[in-house]
Structure 1
Amino acid sequence: MVQAVIGIGIARIVLLYPYLKTKNIWTSFIVHVMNDWTLFGLAFISSMHH
């Protein structure tokens, strides 16, 4: 439970930071999409090597 709260909290800060710096929701959206695709890509690549 604690790991989930800390993990989500850190992710929220990382994804909120671009919006706070630019005041542009699209910047935050793009960072979020890039983050998701990076994680999916890494998971996909690691699953291919096993």
Structure 2
Amino acid sequence: MKASVLAAFQLVEDARYRGNDRRSRQDRRRALAERTVANRKLARDLPAS
């Protein structure tokens, strides 16, 4: 369950990240860092299965 939820969030974030908008390198780094933090929080908060 946990892996499938994380995978779903990852797909959504990847779609946003690879969208048509052209971001600066700094913006891409910030988005990646934010995604990493969100994924770690989600993994920590989901019950282990």
Give the TM bin, normalised by the shorter chain: 0.5 to 0.7
What is the total number of aligned residue pairs between the two structures? 38
- Moved runs in structure 1, 4+ residues, more than 3 A? none
* Inter-CA distance 43–37: structure 2 relative to 1 (3 Å threshold): same
In 1, Cα distance between the equivalents of 2:30 and 2:18?
12
Instruction: Write out per-residue CA displacement over residues 8-47 of structure 1, whole angstroms, 9 at most, x where no aligned residue.
Output: xx71x42244x61x4x101011001101110111110113
Task: Give the TM-score, by structure 1 length.
Answer: 0.52
1:39 alignment counterpart? 39
In 1, Cα distance between the equivalents of 2:46 and 2:25?
32
In 2, Cα distance between the equivalents of 1:35 and 1:25?
15
Question: Gaps (5+ residues) in structure 1?
Answer: none
Larger Rg belongs to: 1
1:14 alignment counterpart? 16
Classify the secondary structure of the residue corresponding to 1:37. Answer: helix
